[in-house]
Chain A
Amino acid sequence: MNAVNPIISIQNVNKFFGTFQALSDVSLTVEAGQKVVVIGPSGSGKSTLLRTINQLEEISSGAIVVDGRDLGDPKNDINRVREEVGMVFQNFNLFRHKTVLENLTLAPIKLKKEPKLQADKRAMELLDKVGLVDKAGSYPVQLSGGQEQRVAIARALAMNPKIMLFDEPTSALDPEMIGEVLEVMVTLAREGMTMVVVTHEMGFAREVADSVVFMDEGKIVEIAPPNQFFDHPQHERTQKFLEQIL
Chain B
Amino acid sequence: MREKKVVIEVGDGAAIPDPNDKGLFTAWRISFFGTLAIMAFLVINRPDPYLDILKYLPDGILITFKVTFASIALALVLGLIAGLGRISKNKFFNLAASTYIEVVRGIPLLVQLFYIYFALGHIVRVPDLVAAIIAMGFCYGAYMGEVFRAGINSIDDGQSEASLSLGFNRSQTMRYVILPQAWRTILPPVGNEFIALLKDTSLVSILAVSDILRRGREFASESFLYFETYTMIALVYLLITLILSKLLSNIENRLGHYERR
Using a CB–CB cutoff of 8 Å, the interface residues on chain A facing chain B are 54, 56, 79-80, 82-83, 85-87, 89, 91-97, 106-107, 110-111, 139, 141-142, 152, 155-156, 159
Instruction: Contact check, B166 vs A91: say whether CB atoms are below 8 A apart.
Output: no
In the bound assembly, the distance between CA atoms of A86 and B165 in angstroms comes to 7
A96 and B167: CB pair below 8 A? no
Contact between A82 and B167 (Cβ–Cβ < 8 Å)? Answer: yes
Docked-complex contact A82 and B161, CB < 8 angstroms: no
Of the residues B159, B166, B260, contact of A96 by C-beta under 8 Å: B159
Alpha-carbon gap, A107 to B168, bound state (A): 7
Contact flags (1/0) for B165-178 with A, using CB distance below 8 Å? 11111001000110
CB pair A56 B161 closer than 8 Å = yes
Contact of B181 among A79, A97, A106 (CB under 8 A): A97
Partner of A79 from the list B2, B156, B159, B168 (CB cut-off 8 Å) is B168
Who on chain A is nearest to B177 by CB? Answer: A95
| CB closest chain-B residue, reference A95 | B177
CA A86 – CA B158 in complex, angstroms?
15
In the complex, which of the residues A56, A80, A96, A139 has the most CB atoms of chain B within 10 Å of its own CB atom?
A96
Least CB distance, A126 to chain B, in whole angstroms: 14
Name the one of B159, B167, B176, B260 contacting A93, with C-beta atoms under 8 angstroms. Answer: B159
Question: How many Å from the CB of A164 to the closest CB on chain B?
Answer: 11
Return B2 CB to nearest CB of chain A, in Å.
Answer: 5
Question: Of A89, A97, A152, A156, which contacts B180 at CB under 8 A?
Answer: A97
A57–B195 Cα distance when bound, in Å, is: 43
Complex contact B258–A141 (CB within 8 A): yes
B72 to chain A, nearest CB (A): 24
Choice from B162, B164, B167, B259 contacting A95 with Cβ under 8 Å: B162
Closest B residue to A55 by beta carbon equals: B164
Which residue of B is nearest A85, CB measured?
Answer: B165
Please report the C-alpha to C-alpha distance between residue A141 and residue B257 in the assembled complex, in whole angstroms.
11
Task: For A94, list chain B residues within 8 Å (CB).
Answer: 162
Verify B167–A111 contact, CB threshold 8 A: yes
**Told that A93-B158, A110-B176 touch, could you supply 18 new A-B pairs with CB distance under 8 A?**
A54-B165, A79-B164, A79-B168, A82-B167, A86-B166, A91-B2, A92-B2, A93-B161, A94-B162, A96-B159, A111-B167, A111-B168, A111-B172, A141-B258, A142-B261, A155-B166, A159-B166, A159-B167
Q: Report which B residues bind A (CB closer than 8 A).
A: 2-3, 156, 158-159, 161-169, 172, 176-177, 180-181, 258-261
Are A95 and B159 in contact, with the CB atoms below 8 A? yes
Q: Using Cβ atoms and an 8 Å threshold, which residues of chain B touch A97?
A: 180-181, 258
Q: Which residues of A contact B162 (CB under 8 A)?
A: 87, 89, 93-95, 152, 155
Residues of A within 8 Å of B161, CB to CB, are 56, 87, 89, 93
- In contact, A110 and B172 (Cβ under 8 angstroms): yes
**In the complex, what distance in Å separates the CA atom of A155 from the CA atom of B166?**
9
Q: List chain A residues, Cβ under 8 A from B169.
A: 79
The reply to whether B177 and A83 form a contact with Cβ atoms under 8 Å apart is no
The residue of chain A having its C-beta at the shortest distance from the C-beta of B182 within the complex is A97
Contact A83 B158, beta carbon cutoff 8 Å: no
Q: Please name all residues of chain B whose beta carbon is closer than 8 Å to the beta carbon of A106 when the two chains form the complex.
A: 166, 176
Say how far A51's CB is from chain B's closest CB, in angstroms: 8
By a CB distance below 8 angstroms, the chain B residues around A79 are 164, 167-169
CA distance A219 to B96 in the complex (A): 42
A84, closest chain B residue (CB): B167
Quote the shortest CB–CB distance from B164 to chain A (angstroms).
Answer: 7
23 A-B contacts (beta carbon < 8 Å): A56-B164, A79-B168, A79-B169, A82-B166, A82-B167, A83-B167, A87-B161, A87-B165, A89-B158, A91-B158, A92-B2, A93-B156, A93-B159, A94-B162, A95-B163, A96-B181, A96-B258, A97-B181, A106-B166, A107-B166, A110-B168, A152-B162, A155-B162
> What 7 pairs between A and B have smallest CB-CB spacing?
A83-B167, A93-B162, A93-B158, A87-B165, A107-B166, A139-B258, A82-B167
State A152–B163 Cα separation when bound (angstroms): 12
Most central of B161, B164, B165, B181 by chain A CB within 10 Å: B165
Shortest Cβ distance from A112 into B: residue: B167
- List B contacts of A86 (CB < 8 A): 165-166
Question: How close is A239's CB to chain B, nearest CB, in angstroms?
Answer: 35
| Complex CA–CA separation, A85 to B168 (angstroms) | 12
Complex: how many Å from CA A156 to CA B167?
A: 10
- Inter-chain CA distance A110–B169, complex, in Å, is 11
Chain B hits for A91, CB < 8 A: 2, 156, 158
Cα A96 to Cα B176 in complex, Å, equals: 12
Complex interface: chain A residues within 8 A of B2 (CB): 91-92
A138 shortest CB reach to chain B, Å = 10
Q: Which residue of B lies closest to A109 (CB)?
A: B176
